[in-house]
């Protein structure tokens, strides 16, 4: 399917920021694809957040995205508005816990791979 404006609603608005909710039977990959939200470009603003409930008739998922860019009517969703800064692998300290450091490194790698944290 395609974007349907009836499925986009405002949850909260304050000081130029809007928290949106969008629901769709489309899969997450379809909703996250380029140009999906272009018809909403007049409503959305860079920095807004969109809570997505997708694939509601299949395997429902909930995702949170920020509106990272709107140029010439093209809407780009991303995690940029709320992306965490890069965190280096743990080093130093009087007591070295190798297993803990390995797990922290794995968490950092997963956050980078999912786009939730900057890579450097």
How high is the pLDDT of residue 81? Answer: 47
How high is the pLDDT of residue 82? Answer: 52
| CA–CA gap between residue 41 and residue 11 (Å, rounded) | 18
Six-digit token pair at 45?
């603003």
How high is the pLDDT of residue 83? Answer: 59
CB 44 within 8 A of CB 73: no
Rg (CA), the chain: 18
**Residue 98 falls in which region: left (phi positive, over 0), alpha (psi -120 to 50) or beta:** alpha
Q: 99 — phi, psi (to 5°)?
A: -65, -45
* 11 burial type by CB count under 10 A (0-12 exposed, 13-18 middle, 19+ buried): exposed
Q: What is the mean pLDDT of each run of 10 residues along the chain (120 residues)?
A: 93 91 93 93 93 93 87 84 64 80 82 73
How high is the pLDDT of residue 39? Answer: 97
CA angle 85, 62, 54 (to 5 degrees): 125
How high is the pLDDT of residue 86? Answer: 67
How high is the pLDDT of residue 40? Answer: 97
């Amino acid at each position: 399917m395609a974007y349907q404006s009836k499925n986009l609603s405002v949850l909260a608005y304050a000081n130029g920021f809007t928290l949106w909710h969008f629901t769709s039977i489309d899969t997450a990959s379809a909703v996250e694809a380029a140009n999906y939200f272009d018809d909403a470009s007049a409503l959305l603003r860079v920095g807004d957040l969109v809570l997505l409930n997708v694939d509601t008739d299949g395997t429902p998922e909930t995702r949170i995205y920020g509106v990272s860019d709107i140029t010439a009517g093209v809407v780009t969703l991303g995690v940029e508005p709320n992306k965490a800064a890069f965190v280096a692998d743990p080093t130093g300290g009087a007591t070295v816990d190798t297993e803990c450091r390995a797990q922290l490194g794995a968490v950092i790698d997963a956050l980078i791979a999912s786009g939730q944290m900057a890579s450097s």
